[in-house]
Amino acid sequence: MFLEGIEIDKVLGNKKSMARHYANLAALYAKHGDGPSSEKALLKALEIDKAIDNKEGMVHHYANLATFYMSAGHWAEAEAMYFKELEMYDALGNKAKMAEKYTHLVNIYAKRGDSQGAEKMLLKGLEISQTIDNKEDMANKTAALASIYAKRRDWQRAEKMFLKGLEINQALGRKENMAGIYGNLGIYYVNTAQLPRAKEMLLKSLQLFEEMGNPNTRRVQQLLDGLQTTSTTD
């Protein structure tokens, strides 16, 4: 059916429709597990839409190619496609999608163990989300940044991101996220020997988790018990 449509489009000179038929053909090949044919059809669709400067079509093909390369474990090719998507969404003025694609790039760098690259992509995505006031995405990206900094034991920057994330989640009314951040702040203050502050944060975490009936109450209570033991020993 799609091949017939392509032939008809060739006769009619309808390149936009032809590209769409190639994209549908690629999806069909992918459904039947024929990766090479799917990739070939997507590249053909992309070639056609490039020729007519159909950015909406191009960004769709780049996204499908990125997904294809990710599933095949071809990180470099997937990365290139995500950057192409970013170019298209920038040209189309779609900042929300740009922020989303930076998250996909973060995942690639994380798989490579490249925390510096992941941090760079998170900061770029966060900057865009701030310009469009996308609080949900801002909350997610500040949490990811805080995690990166905490793993590096860069406590000052970790605290900054935790506090920023806490403020955003408070505005969104996301109590479970707030409880988690209070808990992370408690751990941060333990690691920096600020025990009274650590207790304050852990108690706030415990209270919120208890209100929700969340099983994380046990973990937070263990941290508080350990904190009490440390204070007694000292």
Decide if pLDDT at 230 tops 90: no
User: Is 110 found in the same domain as 136?
Assistant: yes
The total number of structural domains that make up the chain: 3
Decide if pLDDT at 1 tops 60: no
User: Is 112 found in the same domain as 74?
Assistant: no
Last residue of a domain, one of 85, 108, 135: 85
User: Is 198 found in the same domain as 130?
Assistant: no
User: Is 78 found in the same domain as 5?
Assistant: yes
Amino acid (1-letter code) at residue 44: K
Last residue of a domain, one of 121, 141, 173: 173
Cβ-count burial 55-85 (b if 16+ within 10 Å, e if not): eebbbbbbbbbbebbbeeeeeebbbebbebb
User: Is 24 found in the same domain as 75?
Assistant: yes
Q: How confident is the model at residue 9 (pLDDT cuts 50, 70, 90)?
A: low
Q: How confident is the model at residue 147 (pLDDT cuts 50, 70, 90)?
A: very high
Question: Residue 145 — φ and ψ, nearest 5°?
Answer: -65, -45
Q: What is the mean pLDDT of the chain?
A: 91
* Alpha-carbon span 231 to 228, nearest angstrom: 5
pTM of the model: 0.83
User: Is 193 found in the same domain as 165?
Assistant: no
Last residue of a domain, one of 124, 154, 173: 173
User: Is 155 found in the same domain as 99?
Assistant: yes
First-residue to last-residue Cα distance in the chain: 77
Q: What is the DSSP string of 2-62?
A: HHHHHHHHHHHT-HHHHHHHHHHHHHHHHHTT-HHHHHHHHHHHHHHHHHTT-HHHHHHHH
Residue 23: give the domain boundaries: 1-85
User: Is 29 found in the same domain as 4?
Assistant: yes
Query: Which residue carries 């093909």 as its tokens?
Result: 61
* Alpha-carbon span 140 to 143, nearest angstrom: 5
Per residue in 212-224, pLDDT (tens digit) is: 999 999 999 999 9
User: Is 9 found in the same domain as 80?
Assistant: yes
Per residue in 162-212, pLDDT (tens digit) is: 999 999 999 999 999 999 999 999 999 998 999 999 999 999 999 999 999
* CATH number of the structural domain spanning residue 158: 1.25.40.10
User: Is 191 found in the same domain as 156?
Assistant: no
Please state which of the ranges 6-10, 11-15, 94-98, 118-122 shows the lowest mean pLDDT.
Answer: 6-10
User: Is 140 found in the same domain as 76?
Assistant: no
Q: What is the per-residue pLDDT for 12? A: 72
Q: What is the per-residue pLDDT for 233? A: 52
The residue count for the chain? 234
Looking at the chain, list the stretches that DSSP marks H as alpha helix, in order from N- to C-terminal side: 2-12, 15-31, 35-51, 55-71, 75-92, 95-112, 115-131, 135-151, 155-172, 175-191, 195-212, 217-233
Mean pLDDT for the stretch of residues 35-52: 94
Please state which of the ranges 2-16, 68-82, 146-160 shows the lowest mean pLDDT.
Answer: 2-16
Decide if pLDDT at 145 tops 80: yes
User: What's the alpha-carbon Rg for the chain, to the nearest Å?
Assistant: 24
User: Is 104 found in the same domain as 72?
Assistant: no
Decide if pLDDT at 4 tops 90: no
Q: How confident is the model at residue 37 (pLDDT cuts 50, 70, 90)?
A: very high
